[in-house]
């Protein structure tokens, strides 16, 4: 039913277009949406692929996108997907950037690119690559790189009763409030850690946070074998400094990013430590939060 609605919309919403940009490939069909203030066009010459791309965009932004009726209006960013022979090709702003024989891998990459494009260019929002939980009515931010144990920690914390905000993004508004981005958790495969499966936070028994919250604490931590949680408190400035590598628009919107991080971190307890065993250290982190969050 949903698929039919989507295709129905596309049939109604699409208009053929041609682009006169030199060296830029053009496509017959286009669908434009806006998410977090960023306008993106999806393009293809294949209505089936466009339909899949649209569904992926819907899930990538948890439904927080608005379709633009007038599809001839300019979008800042364009993604095209086509099939050529036995491979699928991805285009960004009219130029081919990736090709792959596996459709699912190409779309997985596409979803990642879509999210990063919005995260980097969002209006009045700063996306921090971070796990986020709620504890005692405040948000707790765990900025960190991929594959450093963020999701594992968030998963354990929500098992201990923390609210779920996100395992990927802390979305901070221009008043310093952090908004939930409760996508499914990307949990690493037990057998092979470089593969992931998506698990719903609800299936893990989590309470999903729906409203924005002030940041009560920022925890800078990553997994190290045999390490223990021994937090060192940081100043606001040092906390922001260490969060900069995980702040997605830091280069595209430096001034806004620093201003918003400053607002958001102003009252936060900021701590840094490596951590080891997740079962033990999740409890230790919650004990730390209990002590510091009033």
Nearer residue to other proteins within complex by CB, 30 or 246:
246
| CB 258 to other proteins: min, Å | 4
Residue in the structure block whose two tokens are 């960004």: 92
17's torsion region: left (phi>0), alpha (psi -120 to 50) or beta? Answer: beta
> In the structure encoding, which two tokens stand for residue 134, read together?
């709620």
Does 259 bind other proteins (CB under 8 A)? Our answer is yes
Based on CB atoms, which residue is closest to other proteins, 65 or 118? 118
Q: How far is the CB of 261 from other proteins (least distance, A)?
A: 8
> 185 forms bridges with which residues in the sheet?
199
Residue ranges in 198-237 that form contacts with other proteins under rule CB under 8 A:
235-237
Nearest CA among 87, 94, 89 for reference residue 30? 94
Q: Judged by CB under 8 A, does residue 120 bind other proteins?
A: yes
Contact flag: residue 10 with other proteins (CB under 8 A): no
Contact between residue 115 and residue 244 where contact means Cβ atoms under 8 Å apart:
no
Q: Which among 39-47, 72-80, 207-215, 258-266 is the span making contact with other proteins, rule CB under 8 A? A: 258-266
Count of chain residues binding other proteins (CB under 8 A): 44
> Does residue 73 touch other proteins according to CB under 8 A?
no
Burial environment of residue 100 by CB neighbours within 10 A (0 to 12, 13 to 18, 19 or more):
middle
- With beta carbons less than 8 A apart as the criterion, state whether 258 and 243 touch: no
Q: Which is nearer to other proteins, 187 or 236 (CB)?
A: 236
> Least distance from C-beta 29 to other proteins, angstroms?
22
- The maximal CA–CA distance of the chain, rounded, in angstroms, is 62
| Dist. CA 200–CA 188, nearest whole Å | 14
Q: Which of 69, 195, 203, 226 binds other proteins (CB under 8 A)?
A: 195
Which H helix or E strand runs over 169?
strand 169-173
Where along the sequence are the contacts to other proteins (CB under 8 A)? 90, 98-102, 104-106, 108-109, 112-113, 116, 119-120, 129, 145-147, 191-192, 194-196, 235-238, 240-242, 244-246, 248, 250-251, 254-255, 258-259, 262, 266
């Amino acid at each position: 039913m949903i698929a039919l609605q989507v295709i129905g919309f596309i049939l109604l919403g699409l208009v053929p277009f041609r682009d006169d940009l030199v060296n830029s490939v053009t496509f017959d069909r286009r669908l434009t949406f806006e998410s977090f203030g960023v306008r993106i066009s999806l393009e293809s010459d294949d209505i089936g692929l466009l339909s899949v791309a649209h569904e992926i965009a819907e899930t990538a932004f948890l439904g927080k996108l608005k379709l633009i009726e007038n599809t001839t209006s300019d979008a800042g960013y364009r993604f095209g997907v086509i099939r050529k022979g036995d491979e699928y090709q991805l285009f960004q702003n009219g130029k081919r950037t990736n090709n792959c024989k596996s459709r699912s891998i190409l779309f997985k990459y596409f979803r990642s690119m879509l999210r990063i494009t919005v995260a980097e260019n969002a209006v009045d929002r700063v996306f921090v690559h971070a796990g986020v939980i709620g504890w005692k009515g405040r948000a707790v931010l765990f900025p960190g790189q991929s594959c450093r144990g963020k999701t594992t920690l968030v998963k354990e914390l929500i098992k201990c009763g923390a609210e779920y905000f996100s395992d990927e993004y802390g979305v901070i508004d221009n008043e310093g409030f952090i908004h939930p981005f409760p996508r499914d958790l990307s949990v690493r495969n037990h057998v092979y850690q470089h593969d992931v499966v998506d698990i719903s936070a609800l299936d893990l028994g989590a309470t999903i946070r729906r409203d924005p919250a002030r940041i009560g604490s920022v925890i800078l931590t990553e997994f190290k074998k045999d390490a223990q949680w021994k937090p060192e408190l940081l100043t606001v400035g040092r906390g922001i400094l260490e969060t900069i590598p995980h702040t997605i628009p830091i280069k595209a919107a430096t001034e806004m990013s620093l201003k918003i991080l400053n607002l958001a971190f102003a009252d936060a307890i900021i701590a840094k430590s490596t951590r080891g065993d997740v079962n033990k250290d999740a409890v230790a982190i919650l004990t730390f939060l209990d002590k510091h969050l009033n």
